[in-house]
Amino acid sequence: MSFLSPRRNFHLSTRIRLKRLSTAADDGAVVGLHKLGLKWPLRGGQNLSLRYRRLEQSLRGKAALKGGAVLPSSSSPASIPSKLPPQYFYGLKIPQKPQTPASDECCMSGCAVCVYDLYDESLANYQEAVASFRDSLRATAVPESEWPIETRGSPKLVDNGRTVVQDAFDVLERTLAAKRQGTSAAVIQHQTKCWTFAEMYEGVRWVLFARR
């Protein structure tokens, strides 16, 4: 019995020594993983922001290779608007003259709202804006020689912008209107003639049967 206690102490010290060695080995393995740039083995999560960025870049690259163009990114500058920015003169907005419709913008079918009708309305608004612009400049005693070129002169001398196509369209509209009126008159006259013949037939028929 006297030999058991040292043996027990030996086994206890051995177990403690082995446990320390295993702990040191585990710590060394973890340090080695960190040196290699690896993640903690017990954590399986990942950075979702980095993953989203990688997916976005890969999709942009595929779209560029497929379509031959690069998709616009959030950091790219905004697209330049097609309409010219307004210009100012002495703090007053310079009226912009509307563009004349192109020859292929009108279908020549007598639409209820034609592009030339809209153009005439825009042109009338432009002339009113030019007249108001001139009155404001005269009120501030600005010499007319310094005015913008497109706003000088009398309001009556402003070009109305009518073209040969628009004049031809007006002639076509008048011709179509005359044809429609002529067709309506012919139909009414034909109906009158038919009604008169029917009345004559009924009258003759009534006379013949009345004599019987």
CA-closest candidate to residue 118, choices 131, 95, 101, 103: 101
Tokens of 105: 């913008």
- Whether the CB-CB separation of 166 and 116 falls below 8 Å is answered with yes
What is the DSSP code string of 167-189?
HHHHHHHHHHHHHHHHHHHHHHH
| 104/120 Cα distance (integer angstroms) | 17
Q: Please report where in the chains the tokens 């379509």 appear, as a residue.
A: 67
Question: What's residue 195's pLDDT?
Answer: 56
- Please state whether the predicted TM-score (pTM) of the whole model is above 0.75: no
Is 119 or 16 the better-scoring residue by pLDDT? 119
| 180/184 Cα distance (integer angstroms) | 6
pLDDT tens-digit map of 144-198: 888 888 888 754 444 444 555 666 667 777 787 787 777 666 655 655 555 566 6
pLDDT tens-digit map of 19-56: 665 555 555 555 554 555 555 555 556 677 777 777 77
The helix/strand/coil state of 56 is helix
- Whether the CB-CB separation of 165 and 103 falls below 8 Å is answered with yes
| 8/5 Cα distance (integer angstroms) | 5
